[in-house]
A and B are shown apart, each in its own frame.
Chain A
Amino acid sequence: MKNVAKNMLQGTLLETTRPRMRVSGLTKIYRRGGEAVQALAGIDLEIMPGDFVAIMGQSGCGKTTLLNMLTGVDRPTAGEIWLDGERLDKMSEAQLAILRRQRLGLIFQAFNLLNNMSALENVMLPALLAGRSAREARKLAGALLDELGLSKRYRMLPGELSGGQQQRVAIARALINEPAVLCADEPTGNLDAHTGQDILRLLKRLHTQGQTIILITHDAQVASQAERIVIMRDGRIVDEIRGQGRLSPSSLLLANMSGLDISDEPEEGENNG
């Protein structure tokens, strides 16, 4: 009995330590006017369940290409892509479409809501497509919109909502099928600083509730809020930073007084009395 219990425990441990997503040797080469452009040059990356990973780099570094690979929107030239033990790079277009809808949640810089459907309808749609009844879908959608502070906006069209509200509708939509991974591509790109901070706070809250999140960004302030920051340049991962070690006490963050001259020596250019 002891051995059975031990095997079961090890089995459970294996479950929780298996990556949610994994890519190995991922390469993508585009042909542009006779020239080969290497957008991804052999990426190896593991995302564990519950990770909050930012993929950061300047335009052209390959981060969007990488996201397109992870979400099955585009296919690699070489390498493997795994989601919960299944290979994406071997799936058909139809299977990838279902995957995107049911097992991944996507949010974008441009929100990408359907403009002639209400907030509630936008959020319900993926649930309906996954086979839920209208009643179930409406209930789930309502609960998500309530949790995201949009309980009074069910019937509004995207055009009647602010940028921040639209992004929250998009997040609700992305979460309705309880995705394995929430993928966010520059989610604060079209938002002002203050609203962007709200959305980031929301993502952090989702993370503490257990959601695995991949966040693509060029913005250091956004990336700095993730637990892991993967830095890309020229199609490669050049560094990985595990964030937030010992925190400085807040009183020390701004304590440097250099630049403030209180000596007796007159400065260059100072008016001398």
Chain B
Amino acid sequence: MSLKYVLLGLLKQHQPRSGYELKREAEQLLGRGAELNPGQIYPLLRKLAQQQLLEGEHVEQEDRPDKRVFMLTEAGERELDAWFAEPVSLAIGRPALFLRFVVLLLVRPHGRDDFLKEQRPRLLEFIGQLVADRTKHQGSEDLSTRVLRELTILHAEADLKWIEWLSALEA
């Protein structure tokens, strides 16, 4: 998933917006802990403007430096709609835990039990911290953070089920 659609969506919701506002709103939308590098946002905005998905406008300000604000073009709106119409990819690629497992087996052919012994406590501790975090914040947070945390917990539970399954697998 690309930050591109976050930016297009933010402009669809409200425009015009400056690069600074877009960065701030995007970080908000992406949930607690999200940090975006300005060195990547501004070039992306430039690229999207070159692709004519956005338009930039120079705004003079009295007490402050001039700023550049962005608006969605019609092409940009169509691009966003086309993205919504695409099926979301469900493939998970090659997650870190998978890579760790297959490479471990390469160098340590009987490393399956080691893998389980190492990863199980980490996963349970991680789940424990997230569950405690959820309890601590009891509904006092933004939606993105809550749904992301829940997804993270469920992924960790799935990883735990997976490593248990690995250990029961015939060699």
Contact = CB atoms under 8 A, between A and B. Distances in A.
Interface in B24-68: 30-37, 40-41, 43-44, 47, 51-53
B148 interface: yes
Contacts of A256: 33
Nearest to A257: B34
A220 B157 contact: yes
Contacts, number: 103
B79 A273 contact: yes
Interface string A237-273: 0010101110110111111110111111001011101
Contacts of B148: 254
A58 B125 contact: no
Contacts of A255: 33-35
B79 A221 contact: no
Contact of B3 (A197, A251, A262): A262
A195 interface: no
B15 interface: no
A241 B1 contact: no
Main secondary structure of the interface of A (DSSP, over half): loop
A179 B88 CA distance: 53
Contacts of A245: 125
Given A254-B33, A254-B149, A273 B128 contact: no
Interface string B81-120: 0110010010000000000000000000000000001001
Contact of B75 (A229, A259, A269, A273): A273
A197 B137 CA distance: 13
A55 interface: no
Given A224-B127, A273-B79, 10 more contacts: A197-B135, A201-B135, A220-B123, A231-B120, A241-B121, A245-B125, A257-B34, A257-B35, A269-B86, A270-B2
14 contacts: A224-B131, A225-B128, A239-B120, A241-B120, A244-B129, A250-B32, A250-B136, A250-B137, A253-B130, A254-B145, A255-B33, A257-B30, A271-B83, A273-B75
